């Protein structure tokens, strides 16, 4: 089997462009234009499977439903978008309790209501396989355009919201999609590039560097390490490693020109959530980690979700 | 486990309305309004699983990919819509050949290109379970509004496109989504109600009756029975039974007021596809089948796809 990134690249090459597709495969969401006014619509989809993205046997189904929506809302936030509607498909295992669908759905509906997102439709199936949930979220840019991965510029300051690492301890199920933070960011700052941290900084920052044709230096001392990452740090992996390489933090990473960055640093919060300056964009194409004054390559560590 | 229809009804009750949601759960697609111009966007989703909707071991993956898109395009057609973009999620079995993704995707891309539909993005995963493909299609109404299930009126004539029954012999994989026919219909006629035949007339006509608060008489002699239905008819199930109750024909069923119906009957084709008058809308709430001058209840026969 190919790696996920190789496969996506191959699938991307098979696809033709169409006039309505303003932004296709390769960002957190696509942007498609509708109607005579060419209204921009953001669309993103994620499929979650039992034993891969959650463990049905040991997890409250409400949290599983919540997560399946939250990861999609995070992708809309990562475009500088507001979420408008979602559709949901389920494949239930035959013999699953009659209440499972309602519990999963309750978790979805509660989060959807919280952000004013319409649950517009879906598809329900049953089969002999494990539980699968596929959610597609639709949104629209908050500002005049969506914020892509490709806009980072040399000299930009790199920021992240919240704290990083250790999501397996629980936050991968309970994290808050950063929709409010994205709105505060877009409405108050000229954002150059934006992504959500689904695979860890060491992986997701690379997407911005590749799409923007730039490099970056991340300062180890500035990484906001979560309490969960500190608790789960051990012999094999330090708390910093968890913060750099763990997946499913679903915090926002973004870049601002230095004058904009100074404004944000005067009150480093967005919608009440702390933000941290963690480094800067450079020329070149490499990501470096500065540890005790020395630069070492910040290598992507493929995130493997092992439950 | 609840039946699919019971579950959908329960999930429907959990959902709150939102201002952007013009039409929610209960039609072939939802309609959501975007942007300051309130541009209408149709959205529909279907999940297809190995051994339920297709048999990977015995089927060309290109046809499986094609079907996973085609069922969604059919739902857009069933709203009187044109398809604009799709997103696709895959769960591949670990150990599947490296070419499987490309073959599936080739079938999707070929059909998408044929109808000018943008493949906007997706999600790829691997796991220990069987192959799952989830497609979400976005579209927009061809006319000033989409055509719902709820518009049928007493006295309307009921039509179907093409021929019905026996899809398991092959057409469930190769059918043409009726996008061109939907366009010809919407651009030339005042369509009252429209649906695609995914579960069979006996099931899908009920959706129109319930949403429109009407009844119907279907004339057995007028049903266009496919060659495949004739060939698969046997002791247990007549060709007519196949045509009435088999699923996955993905033809369009629609109703027109009698003056409009007369116009269509002068040349009973849409975009070159034959259409057949099969009955009429009545008062009441029941569906009846007229067989040799006698009315018998046209009962829903839950369609079970057994491969």
Q: Which residues of A32-41 are buried (b: 16+ CB within 10 A; e: fewer)?
A: bbbbeeebbb
In angstroms, the separation between the Cα of residue A18 and the nearest Cα of chain B is: 5
Given B49, B126, B128, which is nearest A127 (Cβ)? Answer: B49
Note whether A20 contacts B: Cβ–Cβ < 8 A: yes
CB pairs under 8 A between A and B: 238
Residues of A in contact with B101 (CB under 8 A): 2, 7, 10-11
Task: Identify the band that residue A220 occupies on the pLDDT scale cut at 50, 70 and 90.
Answer: very high
The CA-based diameter of chain A, rounded to the nearest angstrom, is 59
Q: What is the pLDDT of residues A121-151, one digit of tens each?
A: 999 999 999 999 999 999 999 999 999 999 9
pLDDT at A157 over 90: yes
Are B253 and B211 in contact by the 8 Å Cβ rule? The answer is: no
> Can you tell me which residue has the tokens 């969604």?
B72
pLDDT at A304 over 70: no
Given B1, B8, B16, which is nearest A94 (Cβ)? Answer: B1
User: Closest Cα partner for A42 from A75, A11, A13?
Assistant: A75
A45 exposure class (CB count in 10 Å sphere: 0-12, 13-18, 19+): buried
Q: What is the pLDDT of residues B223-250, one digit of tens each?
A: 999 999 999 877 788 999 999 999 999 9
Judged by DSSP in three states, B164 sits in strand
Given B47, B124, B127, which is nearest A125 (Cβ)? Answer: B47
Note whether B17 contacts A: Cβ–Cβ < 8 A: yes
pLDDT at A159 over 80: yes
User: Closest Cα partner for A249 from A265, A269, A225?
Assistant: A225
Given A11, A35, A102, which is nearest B37 (Cβ)? Answer: A35
Measure the CA angle with vertex A16, ends A12 and A21; round to 5°.
90
Q: Please report the pLDDT score of residue B306 as a whole number.
A: 40
- Which domains are seen in chain A, by residue range? 4-141 (3.30.1330.10), 149-297 (3.90.650.10)
Cα–Cα distances (Å) from B160 to B166, B256, B270, B277, B296, in that order, read 16, 11, 11, 7, 21
A118·B11 Cβ contact <8 A: no
Helices A179-188, A61-77: inter-axial angle, 10-degree rounding: 10
Given A29, A43, A102, which is nearest B10 (Cβ)? Answer: A102
- Please give chain B's pLDDT, 307 residues, in tens: 466 677 777 777 888 889 999 998 888 999 999 999 999 999 999 999 999 999 999 999 999 999 999 999 999 999 999 999 999 999 999 989 889 999 999 999 999 999 999 999 999 999 999 999 999 999 999 999 999 999 999 999 999 999 999 999 999 999 999 999 999 999 999 999 999 999 999 999 999 999 999 999 999 999 999 999 999 877 788 999 999 999 999 999 999 999 999 999 999 999 999 999 999 999 999 999 999 999 999 998 755 444 3
Q: Give the integer Cα–Cα distance in Å for A114 and B35.
A: 21
% chain A with pLDDT above 70: 96
List the 27-66 stretch of A: residues with Cβ below 8 A of B. 29-30, 32, 34-35, 37, 39-41, 43-47, 49, 51-52
A109·B29 Cβ contact <8 A: no
Q: What is the pLDDT of residues A167-181, one digit of tens each?
A: 999 999 999 999 999
Note whether B83 contacts A: Cβ–Cβ < 8 A: no
Q: Which residues of A197-217 are buried (b: 16+ CB within 10 A; e: fewer)?
A: bbbbbbbbbbbbbebbebbbb
Please provide residue A26's backbone torsions phi and psi, each rounded to the nearest 5 degrees.
125, 0
Judged by DSSP in three states, B301 sits in coil
């Amino acid at each position: 089997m190919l790696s996920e990134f190789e496969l996506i690249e191959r699938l991307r090459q098979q696809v033709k462009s169409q006039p309505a597709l303003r932004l296709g495969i390769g960002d957190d969401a696509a942007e498609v234009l509708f109607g005579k006014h060419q209204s921009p619509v953001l669309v993103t989809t994620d499929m979650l499977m039992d034993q891969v993205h959650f463990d049905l046997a040991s997890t409250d189904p409400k949290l599983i439903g919540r997560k399946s929506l939250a990861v999609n809302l995070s992708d809309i936030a990562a475009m500088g978008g507001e979420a408008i509607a979602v559709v949901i498909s389920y494949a239930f295992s035959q013999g699953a309790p009659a209440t499972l669908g309602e519990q999963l759905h309750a978790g979805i509906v509660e989060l959807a209501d919280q952000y004013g997102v319409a649950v517009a439709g879906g598809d329900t199936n049953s089969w002999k396989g494990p539980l699968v949930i596929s959610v597609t979220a639709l949104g629209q840019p908050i500002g005049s355009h969506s914020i892509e991965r490709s806009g980072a510029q040399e000299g930009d300051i790199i920021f992240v919201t919240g704290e990083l690492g250790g999501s397996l301890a629980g936050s991968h199920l309970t994290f808050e999609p950063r929709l409010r933070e994205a709105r505060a960011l877009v409405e108050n700052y000229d954002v150059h590039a934006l992504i959500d941290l689904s695979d860890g900084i060491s992986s997701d920052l690379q997407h911005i560097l590749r799409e923007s044709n730039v490099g970056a230096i991340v300062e180890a001392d500035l990484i906001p390490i979560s309490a969960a990452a500190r608790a789960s740090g051990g012999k094999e992996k330090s708390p910093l490693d968890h913060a750099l390489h763990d997946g499913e933090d679903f915090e926002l990473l973004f870049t601002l020109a230095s004058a904009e960055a100074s404004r944000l640093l005067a009150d480093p919060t967005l919608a009440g959530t702390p933000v941290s300056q963690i480094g800067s964009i450079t020329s070149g194409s490499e990501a470096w980690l500065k540890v005790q004054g020395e630069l070492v390559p910040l290598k992507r560590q493929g995130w493997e979700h092992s439950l």
